[in-house]
Chain A
Amino acid sequence: MSAIQSPTERIWWKQPLDRVEGTWIVIAFVWCLVMFFMMPYWHIYGKQNLSNEAYRSTPEAFLAKAQAMVDKYTVRTVTEQNIPVVHPVPGSDVYLVARLWQFWPVLELEEGQTYRLHIMSTDWLHGFSLQPENINIQIHPGYEHVVTLTPTREGTYSLICNEYCGINHHTMASKLYVVKPKKG
């Protein structure tokens, strides 16, 4: 009878469908298909897709690569801790280390240029949250994630950690500068 009792009829499977249910199922299913195909569609025609490129790595190997980039491209330092600001060549491989509780180094990128950004943690899980763009990526220790990105507007952006990483989690923040390309 009601939903808390067994169905009265033995063969409930053959009850004809009410029109309201049938119509809704068709409409809802079509909408489900639209939502499903939006994802592959965006991979082909959209511009914002998270890269599948990732490698297994170690903190030592990753730090060595980041250090080599810092040695080559540092333009100045910021804060009392003298965190290097690097201005790498457009199109190059850029390394960003996330660790307790900082991002290292600070990046200065050129507007409209494309970079291969490698991100990895050397200790716990961290989050890459670029504000105010609001692009958010998980950072793992031991997995080097390569994201190809193109800053579109010049300005000073913030990077904040949005994966809980202990007591000073709220101090893990950094900057990302986007400047106009140098002429000539």
Chain B
Amino acid sequence: MRLLNLLKIAFKAIVLNKMRTLLTMLGIIIGVASVIAMLAIGEGSKESIRSNISSMGSNIITIRPGADVRGGVRGSASEMQTLTFKDYEAIKEQSTLLSYISPMVNGGGQVINGSSNWPSTIYGVNPDYLKIKVVDLQSGSMFTDAEVQSAAKVALIGQTVVDNVFPDGKEPVGQMIRFNNIPFKVIGVLEEKGENTFGQDQDDVVIAPYTTVQKRILAIDYLNQVMASAVSEEDAPEAVTQVTEILRTQHKLSESAEDNFSVRSMEELISTFSSTTEMLTILLVAVASISLLIGGIGIMNIMYVSVKERTREIGLRMAVGGKGSDILMQFLIEAILISITGGLLGVTLGLGATVFIEKFLNWPTSVALYSIVISFAVCAVTGIFFGWYPARKASSLDPITALRYE
């Protein structure tokens, strides 16, 4: 009953002072919304930068045969036959930190189309390969698992190959080419990637199902390499360890034996990635802290002033019989109602602004749950505290002192 009365009093006070309520709420709305929008832009940029670095293949893990010693001489990795399809299957089944994995066999040869020819390299892979290397298709489509099963004679070619064997500018997709005299149907053209840091032309490639390359071109049954991508850059070192263990078990190596294979990650790229990420995180924390501080100070000001100017009202309420605790409870309820409503409106506005920025300004955004929780919590707590504190001070005064407050 008493609480119901207080709720009624607080609600009336809020409704009666629409302008004051609105202004107070506006402080909280802006505070919450700006933090959410700022962090959404920040998180969006961070993710976009991360994915840009990722598209350089920073999470790639390569597994090569190697370090097989014969009579004191270490053989070249490409001559090793110790990496098999069974190893690939074991890694694929047992590893938990890899998102994509593809076997790989490769060999050099001549690409021929009519009177044009061009020396290139053919890579035998599975459909995961494009996702591991983060390569898009310019036209056509990737081969399917079924085509891998049937060792279909289909291929995708890079831009350099297109330029050299289709000099007349004819659309390559659907055309037949020959690689080392084996005919392949071109089913796709890769997006241009340019050269890598070692000056290798990444567009000078032919990609075909690994089964086809194994059987029809190289006539081998082992793998030259297994390529995989870690779930994330942060997980790459752990993934390397995991794959190493799987392969050691698979190859039945004793504890003292050296690895007869090598597992490598893109360490330089990963360290770039993690230092960039770390920097962006620090930047975001700074932006969020400053936004929250400014928002909080705004809320503090408006709440404090709006309660302070009601000191006379508090005096009057006490003079007609309101207890200090009644007054305090009324202002606390008011502050809670205003802060929670303002906070919710702020979240809505913040999300709306984020959508607007994303849609109309084409800025990458990403709303993080923590930004909603933190901004709401900080603004609501600030609002409630500074609605309560001056009321507590006023209600502890003698009624007559409060009544005379100017």
Answer yes or no: are A and B bound together in one complex.
no
